[in-house]
Structure 1
């Protein structure tokens, strides 16, 4: 069974899509089978994976509405080596259409069931807002990865997201947990970055990933070529940082499995 992560933050511009695309490619580099689910109407994760959102005949929109099977809609990212459930502007209409349907909060969860045995990891790129698409992502996943910049307003947004996760846990997905906080666009020379980083570590402890994603020109350039940074420039600081993040996630996953095995053996 695959591990499903929603990569989300209600604040925009914090590196959600960058993280989704580059973490997917980095996990593939460690020989893992990965599915990236683009749940943002902007379709940036789709384009950043080398798939033209304007040429799609079917997308995640059709899957959510029950008009297409997930496995029939999947595309393969040649540059990243992972599969993509793509999105485009059609997804904007899903918000209204879903309200008319039964089980509107768990449509993605149901759709992913047919794909879980095929993948080790499923990463969901969420839109930068709390809407029915984000609710579907949080209902479908086991854990949440929260990318955030180390700045004052980011802390305010994080507080709102924590409340959302708590509500989803109580109503739709009791197993939902925060997997980790990822510091993005990190500049250790900035005193505010250092202060906010210290506050995050104090509050969340080991939930804060040791890996920080630096500001990096190659990370910013890669999407315009439809490539993860690992394919665009595998020696760039951004590509190396996401490889380190993948390694950290895998080590945590292994430690969690061992812990469960020890608990069951007692």
Structure 2
């Protein structure tokens, strides 16, 4: 196994906090620094897959469901099975609606929390960094991602309700650490979709630092709210190509440097 290889889950059970946009831009940002990066879509909605240009994920023949299905059935995997290469230098293991059926299957099998980890162990030595884009729930797929990850990044909107949701997520992370993955760490909390010109956003960031700053890293990079970031998903490319001199691009550049270091 590649000693440097690191698995990072991008996780928050709340939807719409910028998990997928962060997975795309952090992944491509790291690839731009020469890292070998695999992005894994762990969401049956296939948002990450669509954001990288595969607008009809349900038409894909081979996905994460294919490889997890083989792991469950103890069938041999072919080299590179299911993995697609993206033009901006990252590899993608896509997902589609078939993953919902896999999640149902997982409930009834042995070692159900570690099926994703088992698969990733077969490809880890080919990459420096593997990013897992988690689904917006705390179900069996998210538990699989947390048990496979070395560390996690928690994207969080600069919003009071997001702060409330953190408590539930922290409880789940604690449970996974105790029962399945004792080495799991939290890289940090990433504030997303913030308008730091407003007092409200400033107060939320301050509250976050006061509540969690002593126990967790809160990334210096703050991702600003921007229509440009939303547009990238429809175009299947990163913010670095879409709006290279914009403020979102600069923020993801800064985040990439923080994560890489």
TM-score, length basis structure 2: 0.92
CA deviation string 1:82-120 (max 9, x = no partner): 000100111111121111222111000000011111111
Partner of 1:246: 256
Q: 1:193 & 1:223 partners in 2: Cα distance?
A: 24
Partner of 1:6: 9
For the Cα contact (< 8 Å) 1:37–1:84, is it kept in 2?
yes
**Superposed counterparts of 1:38-53, under 5 Å:** 38-52=41-55, 53=57
For the Cα contact (< 8 Å) 1:62–1:68, is it kept in 2?
no
Instruction: Name the SS for the 1:84 alignment partner.
Output: strand
For the Cα contact (< 8 Å) 1:76–1:84, is it kept in 2?
yes
Please state if 1:123 is matched with 2:131. Answer: yes
Partner of 2:58: 54
Q: 1:89 & 1:163 partners in 2: Cα distance?
A: 28
For the Cα contact (< 8 Å) 2:53–2:234, is it kept in 1?
no
Q: How has the CA–CA distance of structure 1 residues 194 and 103 changed in structure 2, closer, same or farther, with 3 Å as cutoff?
A: same
Say which of 120, 123, 134 aligns to 1:112.
120
For the Cα contact (< 8 Å) 2:11–2:152, is it kept in 1?
yes
What is the CA RMSD across the aligned residues, in angstroms?
1.4
Q: 1:34 & 1:170 partners in 2: Cα distance?
A: 29
Partner of 1:75: 84
Q: Which runs of 5+ in 1 are unaligned?
A: 252-266
Say which of 152, 162, 180 aligns to 1:154.
162
Q: Could you say which structure has the higher helix fraction? A: 1
**Superposed counterparts of 1:159-198, under 5 Å:** 159-198=167-206
Instruction: Name the SS for the 1:65 alignment partner.
Output: helix
Q: 2:172 & 2:203 partners in 1: Cα distance?
A: 25
Partner of 2:37: 34
TM-score, length basis structure 1: 0.90
Partner of 2:24: 21
